[in-house]
Amino acid sequence: MTLRASEVVALKVENIHLGTPSYMNVYGKGAKTRQIPIPSFLENELKTYMTKHHLDEPLKRNNLLFVNNKGESFTRFGIFKMVRKYAVIAHQINPDLVPANLSPMVLDTLGNSLSKPEDRLDLH
């Protein structure tokens, strides 16, 4: 399952179907719709997230699934910043966790971040 950042920021609660089977309707490039299965581990996380943020209420079906702390839509750049942040942390914990096929921009960031001792995560 792969989603573009623009597809993630556009997801609405109504696009998520939890049940048997669980899937999401994703609207992407060229006005194409894809139906993507939701793995069981992600289904449980989505249920918890939606309950925590009261998105399981009927009047919230048209709400965006993911919003920032101001209640606004994320931007593609905001998603990139989060991926970069957690990729750096994951790489510091275990370099094998970060796939080698990440975008050159992310890999460049990893290289720059990990070369500065003050930015390294101290786990001890």
Residue boundaries of the structural domains of the chain = 5-60, 76-119
Distances in whole angstroms, Cα of residue 56 to Cα of each of 16, 89, 100: 11, 31, 37
Q: Is pLDDT above 60 for 2?
A: yes
pLDDT at 51: 93
Burial class (CB in 10 A: 0-12, 13-18, 19+), 91: buried
Report, as an integer, the average pLDDT of 53-79.
Answer: 88
For 83-103, how does the pLDDT look when each residue is reduced to its tens digit (9 = 90+)? 888 888 887 888 777 665 665
Tallying the residues shown for the chain, one arrives at 124
Helices and strands of the chain, counted as H and E runs? 4, 3
Chain-centroid distance of CA 105 in Å reads 17
pLDDT mean across residues, the chain: 80
> Contact at 8 Å (CB) between 110 and 104?
no
For 24-62, how does the pLDDT look when each residue is reduced to its tens digit (9 = 90+)? 999 877 888 899 999 988 999 999 999 999 998 888 988
Three-state secondary structure call for residue 16:
strand
For 9-23, how does the pLDDT look when each residue is reduced to its tens digit (9 = 90+)? 899 999 999 988 999
pLDDT at 117: 46
Three-state secondary structure call for residue 86:
helix
